[in-house]
Amino acid sequence: MSLLKKDLQNGILARQKELLKQVEADPWRLKYHQQAPTGWLNDPNGVHQKDGIYHLYYQYSPLDASGGLKYWGHKTSKDLVHFKEEEIFLYPDQKFDCHGVYSGSAFEESGVIHFFYTGNVKLSGKQYDYISSGREQNTVHMTSRDGFSIDTREVAIDAKEYPEGFTQHIRDPKIIMKDDLYYMVLGGRTNEDKGAILLYESKNLNEWNYKGNLLEDQSGLGYMWECPDFFILDGQDILLMSPQGLLKEGYKFENVYQSGFLMGKTDWTTLKFLPSKDFEELDRGFDFYAPQTFEDEQGRRILWGWMGLPDIEPEYSNPTIERGWQHAMTMPRELNIENGKLKQRPLEEYRILRKNEWTQNVDLKEKNYTVSETSDAYEMIVEIKQPTEPLEIFLSQDVKVSFDGDLFTLELGESGYGRKTRSIELSTLTSIQLFVDSSSLEIFINDGEFVMTSRMYPTSNLREIRFEGKSMFQVRKWDLKTTQ
Question: Is 43 noted as a catalytic residue in this protein?
Answer: yes
DSSP 307-364: ES-SS-TTT---GGGGGTEE-EEPPPEEEEEETTEEEEEE-GGGGGGEEEEEEEEEET
Identify whether the C-beta of residue 120 lies closer than 8 Å to the C-beta of residue 307.
no
Reported as half-sphere exposure (CB side, CA atoms, 13 A), residue 326 has a value of 21
**What is the rounded radius of gyration, in angstroms, for the C-alpha atoms of the chain?**
22
- pLDDT tens profile 126-183: 789 999 999 999 999 999 999 999 999 999 999 999 999 999 999 999 999 999 999 9
Mean pLDDT of 287-301: 98
Residues of the chain with pLDDT > 90: what percent?
91
Exactly one of 7, 26, 43, 406 is catalytic; which is it? 43
- Average pLDDT of the chain to the nearest whole number: 96
**In this structure, are residues 465 and 475 in contact, taking their beta carbons and an 8 Å threshold?**
no
Distances (CA, A) of 258 to 168, 224, 254, 277, 355: 21, 11, 8, 17, 35
Domains of the chain: 3-345 (2.115.10.20), 348-480 (2.60.120.560)
On the 0-12 / 13-18 / 19+ scale of CB atoms within 10 A, 298 is exposed
C-alpha neighbours within 13 Å on the C-beta side of residue 334: 15
Summarize pLDDT for 368-421 with one digit per residue, the tens. Answer: 999 987 899 999 999 999 999 999 999 988 999 999 999 999 999 999 999 999
pTM to 2 decimal places: 0.97
Q: Is the pLDDT of residue 6 over 90?
A: no
Return all residues near 280 (Cβ < 8 A) that are at least 6 apart. Answer: 260, 261, 262, 342
